Amino acid sequence: MKPVRVGICGLGTVGGGTFNVLTRNADDIARRAGRPIVIEQVAHRSIHPDCDITGINATSDVFEVATNPNVDVLVELIGGYDIARELVLTAIENGKHVVTANKALIAVHGNEIFKAAHEKGVIVAFEAAVAGGIPVIKSLREGLGANRIEWVAGIINGTGNYILTHMRDEGRAFEDVLAEAQALGYAESDPTFDVEGIDAAHKLTILASIAYGVPLQFEKAFTEGISRITAEDVEQADNLGYVIKHLGISKRTDQGLELRVHPTLIPKERLLANVHGVKMPSR
Amino acid sequence: MKPVRVGICGLGTVGGGTFNVLTRNADDIARRAGRPIVIEQVAHRSIHPDCDITGINATSDVFEVATNPNVDVLVELIGGYDIARELVLTAIENGKHVVTANKALIAVHGNEIFKAAHEKGVIVAFEAAVAGGIPVIKSLREGLGANRIEWVAGIINGTGNYILTHMRDEGRAFEDVLAEAQALGYAESDPTFDVEGIDAAHKLTILASIAYGVPLQFEKAFTEGISRITAEDVEQADNLGYVIKHLGISKRTDQGLELRVHPTLIPKERLLANVHGVKMPSR
């Protein structure tokens, strides 16, 4: 069957991993998806060391991919706002479907992007933008399509949860664990988005938009991070039988939708209190 | 747009609830699904008290629905093996899509049913057969479609987890909590499927088939229930820092796929050890 030809923009941790999965699992994917997925072109500044693009049509100009007539689907993994926005809109203008993991782009420019995609009749898919390892967007949009969703809440920033987990388990200070997370590559050199709750607010904005079928409204989310939480706060919470978790919470209320991102006290025995570290437990 | 016309067979707890949701949320569903879903006919022996079918075309013969030319989708919620199998095959033979929550039917007769549906070009959907409140089947099949799944494990029987939770929290005996669960309607008058692990084995069989893309093979699943677990077992586990949970586990191994359902010891701090009661925590 006619293959789907993708162009991957960005070959960092996410882009390189995507390239490797599409290459390594090509047969499984073709069988399960019903048609092969081939990598037509990649655009990159640098390449993740695990990623071998020998024999692949490569360019340093992402806009070449957005205008390449042989590309059916552009995969935007360069991150950021402005160039990513222009890249995605250019791809849409050229009739390409778009796949992106860029939560900031969707949360801030999503309404404009979705409108353009709708007018062009192309799809913008962004499952990996929220909880990359969990297909929560598909589950909300399709799996729970017949449900009236009253609230959505969860731990939606792995870096923050890594920091809170180690602060609690080891009684260490925020700055100390953050430095460790940066050294391990779990936290960016500029950790603002993660530790000030902006990343979580981006994700909550996207989840709420899908759960309630409303436009994206990032600017309306109350956003508080974990950077002011001290070892004493964590210890006091523990003495009182609670765990401090940073949650994204959205609810239907009489005044309309509520979007808030902030640290919360959760009773130790509750499920959310026992989600530890940077990702879902692997076993 | 042309509505989807469904016929619901069975109006018990699940069927009555389905009827009520489709009726109550009709507008939301039409908006989110892209076309209205109308109830063309219902077939039932008895009716759940919360369910008002005034004005609906009703029959006591489920096969009337399977052959009704005005029904596009037959919803099988009568349960059991033989009549349900005949009903579903008749609906397929008549070119109808089928939706069922019947895990026993799918686990035992699924291969035959899917083959018939494939030949007829109709869909058999069974999201509610496993973890009804969680779209895990769609997530495995579509959301994780590009993943090579190595293992699947979880608590997949609510009645059993209700019993284990109360045995632990209240130090009570299995028979005692089972009687309570039956009085509350969480357990069937014949609890064999739930407490002997058969229901969980049905569900695990379905999950494994989807996760690994293999035929259903219920007869190959190792199946052990919770009926022999004593209050002493639970207390001993607690003293050692563990919680007893009944899990369905399937793994890829060098010898092939492993399917097993049995009680397990899980460290108290682990996520699975903190899933309590009969359903996912509601907040």
Per-residue pLDDT, B111: 96
CATH superfamily of A151-274: Dihydrodipicolinate Reductase; domain 2 (3.30.360.10)
Is domain A4-129 given the CATH code 3.40.630.40 in the classification?
A: no
Q: Which residues make Cβ contacts (< 8 Å) with residue B236, sequence separation at least 6?
A: none
What chain B residue is nearest to A34 in terms of C-alpha separation? B145
pLDDT above 70 (res B259): yes
Enumerate the active-site residues of B: 203
Contact flag A153-B283 (C-beta cutoff 8 Å): yes
CB pairs A-B closer than 8 Å: 83
Q: What is the pLDDT of residues A120-132, one digit of tens each?
A: 999 999 999 998 8
Query: Would you place residue A281 in the very low, low, confident or very high pLDDT band (cuts 50, 70, 90)?
Result: very low
For A29, the closest chain B residue by CA position comes to B146
Mean pLDDT for the stretch of residues A145-154: 89
Name the nearest CA neighbour of B76 among B67, B85, B222: B85
For the segment B93-112, the average pLDDT, to the nearest whole number, is: 97
Question: Which residues of chain B lie closer than 8 angstroms to A275, CB-CB?
Answer: 271
Tokens of B201: 């084995």
Residue A182: is its pLDDT beyond 90? yes
| Higher per-residue confidence, B147 vs B225 | B225
Share of chain B above pLDDT 90, in %: 82
Average pLDDT over residues A109-135: 94
Question: A174-183 and A158-170 helices cross at what angle (nearest 10)?
Answer: 130
Residue A208 has pLDDT above 60, yes or no: yes
Model confidence pLDDT, tens digit, residues B31-82: 877 789 999 999 999 999 999 999 999 999 999 999 999 999 999 999 999 9
Q: What is the overall mean pLDDT for chain A?
A: 93
Cβ pair A22:B146 closer than 8 A: yes
The active-site residue, picked from A2, A120, A138, A203, is A203
Sheet holding A256-267, edge to edge: A151-154, A242-253, A256-267, A222-223
Q: For a pLDDT cut of 90, what percent of chain A falls above it?
A: 82
Q: Average pLDDT, whole number, for chain B?
A: 93
**CA B19 – CA B39 distance, rounded (Å):** 8
Is A192 a residue whose pLDDT tops 70?
A: yes
Nearest-CA neighbor of A110 among A85, A90, A127? A85
pLDDT at site A279: 66
Domain ranges of chain B: 4-129, 151-274
Report CB contact under 8 Å: A271, B271: yes
Q: Which of A6, A18, A271 to mutate against chain B (most B CBs within 10 Å)?
A: A271
**Among A85-94, A95-104, B28-37, where is mean pLDDT lowest?**
B28-37
pLDDT mean over A231-244: 97
pLDDT value of residue B280: 52
Cβ neighbour number for residue B234 with a 10 Å cutoff = 21
> pLDDT class for A112, splitting at 50, 70, 90?
very high
pLDDT band per the 50, 70, 90 thresholds, residue A147:
confident
In the numeric block, the tokens 């437990």 are attached to A281
- What gap in Å lies between CA B76 and CA B97, rounded to an integer? 11
φ, ψ for residue B265, nearest 5 deg: -95, 125
What are A113's strand-pairing partners?
A: none
Q: Tell me the average pLDDT across B256-270.
A: 95
The reply to whether B151-274 shares the fold of B4-129 is no
Mean pLDDT of B167-191: 93
- Three-state DSSP at B9 gives strand
To the nearest whole Å, the CA of B8 is away from the closest chain A CA by: 16
Q: Name residues whose C-beta falls within 8 Å of residue A136's C-beta, 6 or more positions apart in sequence.
A: A130, A207
What integer pLDDT is reported at residue A280 of this predicted model? 52
Angstrom CA distances, A92 to A71, A87, A146, A215, A229, stand at 12, 9, 30, 19, 43
pLDDT in tens, B192-234: 999 999 999 999 999 999 999 899 999 999 999 999 999 999 9
Residue of A nearest to B213 (CA): A32
Q: With an 8 Å Cβ cutoff, is B270 touching chain A?
A: yes
- For tokens 């058969």, name the residue: B198
Model confidence at B179: pLDDT above 50: yes
Average pLDDT over residues A151-170: 95
Question: Out of A5-14, A223-232, A252-261, B20-29, which region has the weakest mean confidence (pLDDT)?
Answer: B20-29
∠ Cα B155 B158 B159 (to 5°) = 125
Q: Sheet holding B37-47: strands in order across?
A: B58-59, B37-47, B4-11, B73-76, B97-100, B124-125
Tell me the per-residue pLDDT of A26-51, one tens digit each, with 9 for 90 and over.
988 888 777 899 999 999 999 999 99
Residue B207 CA, chain-centre distance (Å), reads 11
Question: B281 pLDDT band (50/70/90 cuts)?
Answer: very low
More confident residue, B170 or B34: B170
Exposure string of A178-209, with b = 16+ CB inside 10 Å and e = fewer, is bebbeeeebbeeebebbbbbbbbbbbbbbbbb
Among the partner-chain residues A28, A276, A281, the one whose CB lies closest to the CB of B148 is A28
